[in-house]
Structure 1
Amino acid sequence: MEYRKGSHRIYDLKYHVVFCTKYRYRVLTGQVADRTREIIREICAANYIDIASGSMSPDHMHLLLSIPPSIPVSKAVQYIKGKSSRKLLQEFELLRKRYWGQHLWARGYFVVMVGHVNSNEVQKYIEEQEMHHKRDDFKISEF
């Protein structure tokens, strides 16, 4: 286990964060997806947030983040969604046409704190999301 260190603190706080594009439009593909990854890496680095793992689907993304205790999770997600939305809409005319209200991401998000015991399981789950979304099978589960 590797702990992060700051002034007067040692910590290991990991959060599984999931958020979607507004209206679940499938716009996170090709150059938009590549640029989204770059922007989110820049935002996280500027705010001392480590990305342990991440996966992007055309309409949502999963991130396993290590956030310093001085930054509330809600504020970290606000930074990531707000700044990435603004930059992506500035750079891609396709997105400006689709999202004329200047909001790329849907309002809410999912977050769960990940303990040391299951952080490897969550990381594996996130990494497997790409393979899961590449399959276009349709299964009906029995109740």
Structure 2
Amino acid sequence: MPNTYTQIYIQLVFATKGRESKITNLIRDEIEKYICGIFNNKGQKVLAIYANPDHIHIFFSYKNLQITISDLVKIVKIESTNFINEKKLTLNHFAWQQGYGAFSYGKSQKEKVVHYILNQETHHKKKSFKQEYIEFLNAFEIEFKDEYLFEFYD
């Protein structure tokens, strides 16, 4: 009986509600591990993750095609929000903003994307999240309207 084989690499990017800097270095590792667990439980493999204070990058191998990317993001946002709030990891209520970016890559780009994500702290010393996100949209030739982007305050 034939099987289904895939090799799809996706980078997800989404922001905290109001772009508040809620993810401190003290809780970043715990949040990243929890989110990786969600992906693993949904049959996905995280290759790189970095939670910036106000947004997150997740690069994963999209293996379980039984779940849509949209549903996966919804589950990750709901479950991680509940985890953060139940454990009181932030001073005030935590939430993610609506929306996300999903960008696909080929196998030859895998190591470059992993390096990019793991070096977010250095990267954002030179470039704001807004600049970075708009560059992604332009590089992937995604048409967008400013009013439908994340709430940017920088």
TM (normalized to structure 1)?
Answer: 0.77
Q: Which amino acid aligns with 2:28?
A: A
TM (normalized to structure 2)?
Answer: 0.72
1:32 Cα deviation from its structure 2 partner: 2.5
Of the three residues 109, 115, 118, the one matched with 2:106 is 115
Larger Rg: 1
- 1:53 — aligned with what? 48
Structure 2 spans left out of the alignment, 5+ residues: 129-154
Q: Which amino acid aligns with 2:4?
A: R
Q: Which amino acid aligns with 2:55?
A: H
Of the three residues 113, 118, 131, the one matched with 1:127 is 118
Q: How many residues align?
A: 126
| 1:1-143 matches, cutoff 5 A | 8-67=3-62, 68-92=64-88, 94-95=90-91, 97=92, 99=93, 104-133=95-124, 135=125
Over the residues paired in the alignment, what is the CA RMSD in angstroms? Answer: 2.2
1:30 Cα deviation from its structure 2 partner: 3.2
Structure 1 spans left out of the alignment, 5+ residues: 1-6, 139-143
Work out whether residues 23 and 90 of structure 2, in 8 Å CA contact, stay in contact via their aligned partners in 1.
Answer: no
1:93 Cα deviation from its structure 2 partner: 6.5
1:19 Cα deviation from its structure 2 partner: 0.7
Bigger proportion of residues as strand: 1
Percent identical = 25
Q: Is 107-116 or 27-36 further displaced after alignment?
A: 27-36
Work out whether residues 11 and 104 of structure 2, in 8 Å CA contact, stay in contact via their aligned partners in 1.
Answer: yes
> Hey, which bits of structure 1, 4+ residues long, moved more than 4 A?
none
1:117 Cα deviation from its structure 2 partner: 3.1
1:20 Cα deviation from its structure 2 partner: 0.6
